[in-house]
Amino acid sequence: SSEVLEAIENVIQDVLKSLAQKKAPVLTLANRSDWRNIEFKDSVGLQMIPCCTTKQIRIDCPRSAPKFALMLKILSMIYKMVQSNTYATKRDIYYSDTLLFGSQSVVDNIINDISCMLKIPRRSLHILSTTKGFVAGNLSYTEEDGTKVNCTCSATAVTVPSNVQGIKNLISHAKFMLIVEKDATFQRLLDDDFCNKLSPCIMITGRGVPDLNTRLLVRKLWDTFQIPIFTLMDADPHGVEIMCIYKYGSVSMSFEAHHLTVPSIKWLGLLPSDLERLNIRKDVLIPFTKQDQKKLASIQKRPYIACQPMWKKELEIMAASKLKAEIQVLTSLSSDYLSRVYLPNKLQFGGWL
């Protein structure tokens, strides 16, 4: 915490120095959304290069002055929280002054900018993000406040903890981990008692694009147990994008890649080639939209696809067919095909990439 306080004090001292010299204060931020600032490393995923291009938030520029003020406001809130050892969620910060901040996304963006500027992970700034992910299966742990949590598979899952760093005494006999893209599929597998039927496993869902806590938990479980991790996604560009976030990270959070990515993650399904192999009827597939085509083209150009020839092939099959499929498409074969046939076969015969 002294490191965080010192980092904030240094920023404020620079602002005061500029004012004393009658100069307009400036906050310098790394350009987080620029692909030119990102390098791809097999062992880490997408990470920010050390000498990246920056942008300035100036107080004497009408366009950036409001952001400058909001950054100082949130810095002062972080400073107080670190000093008093209290925590707040991003929602708490937004609701402390909704008129000032205007929207939740403004707060989220500024917090990421501050984290990147100070080179300090967000959870060390005493800001917790609201969790939306679920975990179930062969796993138990103790939360920071001493609460014991048992995720043993039942009809209900456990919410991913909001302070993943604080959990300890993790125990599991799981043979593998399955990341499921969608909540509906996750719940279906829970109802089918998938975690116990095949072999003990841990199931996680970020319910779409994963939040920070879900990604932190996947990484923590990987660090702790070193078991294979598989992903179950829709066979569409959006599903591939979500899987890439777990495996390689995202451009906007590349400055935190070391804590968030698990490059050993494998693509289990739904593979575009599976649709042909399983003779899925064309009438249950969904035609591509313009947006799908654009998204797929952008994924195909990414640096990590070049070192995944099998993935590249699957994306080419998807691009050629211009058709996409949700995981639920397997119910056209039989209502429990996913848990009774598809997943057991894939896991038994190594049908992953």
Q: Is the dihedral of CA 140, 220, 158, 178 positive or negative?
A: negative
Active-site choice (95, 141, 246, 248)? 95
Rounded to whole angstroms, the Cα distance separating 200 from 171 reads: 12
Residue 342 appears among annotated catalytic residues = no
If you search the block for the tokens 């939306």, which residue do you land on? 132
From residue 43, give the alpha-carbon distance in Å to each of 39, 40, 247, 266, 304. Answer: 12, 9, 10, 14, 11
If you search the block for the tokens 């299966």, which residue do you land on? 137
| Residue 306 contacts residue 299 (beta carbons within 8 Å) | no
Rounded to whole angstroms, the Cα distance separating 19 from 116 reads: 24
Rounded to whole angstroms, the Cα distance separating 25 from 71 reads: 13
Q: What is the token pair recorded at 20?
A: 């004393």
- DSSP-derived letter for residue 235 is B
Instruction: Give the Cα-Cα-Cα angle 157, 245, 325 (nearest 5 degrees).
Output: 75
Which residues partner with 142 through β-bridges? 148, 168
Nearest-10 Cα torsion for 124, 126, 130, 131:
40
First-to-last C-alpha distance (Å) of the chain: 42
Rounded to whole angstroms, the Cα distance separating 279 from 49 reads: 45
Rounded to whole angstroms, the Cα distance separating 328 from 233 reads: 10
Write out the catalytic residue numbers.
95
